Structure 1
Amino acid sequence: MTATPPRRSSRPHPFGRAACAMITPFTADGALDLDGAQRLAVHLVDAGGCDGLVLNGTTGEAPTTSDEEKTELVRAVVDAVGDRARVTTGVGSADTRHSAALARSAGTAGAHGVLAVTPYYSRPGQEAVLQHLRAIADATDLPVLLYDIPARTGTPLTAETLLRLAEHPRVQGVKDCAYDLLKSARVMAETGLAYSSGCEELNLPLLAIGGSGYVSTVANVAGRQVRSVLDAHESSDPAEAAARHLALVPLIAAVMASGTPGTVTTKALLNATGLPGGPVRGPLLAAGAELTSHLADTLRHITGQEQPAPALAV
């Protein structure tokens, strides 16, 4: 019996293959720092090798930014790099009407795509999740990147729901944080969805089974190193890709598995290296001096950068 080959799309990647889940810079007093956001976006594209930026997600502190701030951030980043990188913005909420309104405003602000997470806290069933995400896709002309992250939302996207959502013309990809490679492989085999890893440690494993790229938090501080794994994979050099992936593990562990949210550790590193970051908003708390020193030492070891400056007081 001859296996049916996976159905793959020939269109350009709608969200960028090497995408960064960008933090939202704030000023010292906690206000939105649009100038800092533009400077960071340019740095991520020019120095970090990113061809996509995902704004207003978990890393971007979306739960504590207003709708107006989200829109202003999209406009500023699109103005800075929108001709050189795909700009996707999060529109997720636990309210279908609110998410649909955010999706409509994303297009007006100039975004190239929207990131739609399953509703959180209320934990609706699969049919309700399906209707919620379809309503978002119906509300916009932009491509939709589904966000499958049950550890945060309490609600997974089942393979069956993903297959049904893939029938919608604007549902074009998945940011995969489900830690279920069997499910991911099944959906990739049966659809043309672009699968981007949202879990740093699974960037290369997902690529190996047909993934199209990543949406990385670590890329805020080590974009070139994260991109180098993708480059080696695309050059059909699995041994080099594995070596580069394994070399990043200490930084991935420090940023994402230190017991402190990735937003906090990433902003600590950005502040320590002089890039726009600023404080975090409550309920998050800034990283302490000991953790910041460990993060900086690990980053220096991975990237070969000079000793970072002391962390900024925020």
Structure 2
Amino acid sequence: MSMIFEGIGVAMTTPFRNDEIDYDAFREHIEYLIENDVQSLVVNGTTGESPTLSSEEVKSLLSAAVETAAGRVPVVAGTGTNSTKRSIELSQYAEQIGADGVMLITPYYNKSNQRGLVAHFTAIADSINIPVILYNVPARTGMTIEPETIFELSQHENIVALKDAVGDLNYTIKVLNLIDEDFVLYSGNDDNLCDFTALGGRGLISVAGNVIPGELQDVYIRTKNNDAAARAAFDAVMPVIDAVQMDVNPIPIKVLTTELGFGNYELRLPLIPIDEVSQKKIKDAFHEFKEGVRV
């Protein structure tokens, strides 16, 4: 199978209104992202607060994304859980309703060893006929997918990519040295977009992209093309990236999606809103960037 997308994918937030999913705001957000050059939508990931969504909400949110995107950009479903059986059920549902791929996080809490990871991811990939992106984020799960394990899993015809949120480019280099060119790496860290791309990464699954997808896509294209202005373009967006890293994701980015009109500033426990002083700093960084001079 070929890669799902290249460039900037967005790990979408889930908008709430009075603790219910605001589907109108969700659809409007998708239209905004597509109009602003997003290359893929990733639904029901960490940024989407998926652990706090009911099974019915997970499915209905994904259905709304597939229906709204209507084939204009790929939709990737976050279907990974710490239950192989549950992950298979969600992945099969994603395929059934027309998602373009699934993203599978490593099991958490009941974390596995490397052999268990191979068995877990293989069982899910065997159960579907759409592409799989592995998701390595040890800061959240307490475990990592070792480079050699990535190589072994990359031999599966349905496993086509890795979202690398390790935050260590030495790890990225090790993986890139093992895999062949058909298997692609996406960064999971907004702040290393340029360096990751220069190494051979094929894009970013972004948090800040919820509000500045086009600007990040421009940085990616410039970097890939060795444009001398790439680093300056990236430096220009860094204040927004820094602002949305002010607290635990997705607490800060939802300040900005709310500012753009995509739902209330609501999160589900155990996440709580950031204080008003910090909210103002986040909004100021965003507006100052939007009003600034483009590179």
TM-score, normalised relative to structure 1: 0.88
The amino acid that maps onto 1:149 is V
- Matched positions, count: 290
CA distance in 2, matches of 1:113, 1:71: 14
Match of 1:279 in 2: 266
- The match for 2:147 among 159, 171, 181 is 159
The amino acid that maps onto 2:272 is L
The amino acid that maps onto 1:269 is L
CA contact (8 A) 2:79 2:87 kept: yes
Q: Is it true that 1:45 corresponds to 2:45 in the alignment?
A: no
The amino acid that maps onto 2:269 is G
Match of 1:262 in 2: 249
SS in 2 for 1:196: strand
Match of 1:17 in 2: 7
Structure 1 stretches lacking a partner, 5+ long: 1-8, 306-314
SS in 2 for 1:122: coil
Q: Which sits farther off after the overlay, 15-24 or 113-122?
A: 15-24
CA distance in 1, matches of 2:169, 2:131: 24
Deviation at 1:22, TM superposition (A): 0.5
- The match for 1:194 among 167, 174, 184 is 184
Q: Is it true that 1:89 corresponds to 2:84 in the alignment?
A: no
CA distance in 2, matches of 1:163, 1:277: 42
Match of 1:73 in 2: 61
CA contact (8 A) 1:39 1:276 kept: no
1:278–1:292 CA distance, 2 compared to 1 (3 A): closer
Write out per-residue CA displacement over residues 105-137 of structure 1, whole angstroms, 9 at most, x where no aligned residue: 111222110000110112211101111111111
Deviation at 1:143, TM superposition (A): 0.3
CA distance in 2, matches of 1:36, 1:118: 30
Structure 2 stretches lacking a partner, 5+ long: none
Q: Aligned-pair RMSD on alpha carbons?
A: 1.5
CA distance in 1, matches of 2:141, 2:188: 14
Deviation at 1:277, TM superposition (A): 5.1
Deviation at 1:145, TM superposition (A): 0.4
CA distance in 2, matches of 1:262, 1:179: 15
Match of 2:232 in 1: 243
CA distance in 2, matches of 1:212, 1:129: 24
- The match for 1:36 among 19, 22, 25 is 25
Deviation at 1:185, TM superposition (A): 2.3
Match of 2:277 in 1: 290
TM-score, normalised relative to structure 2: 0.94
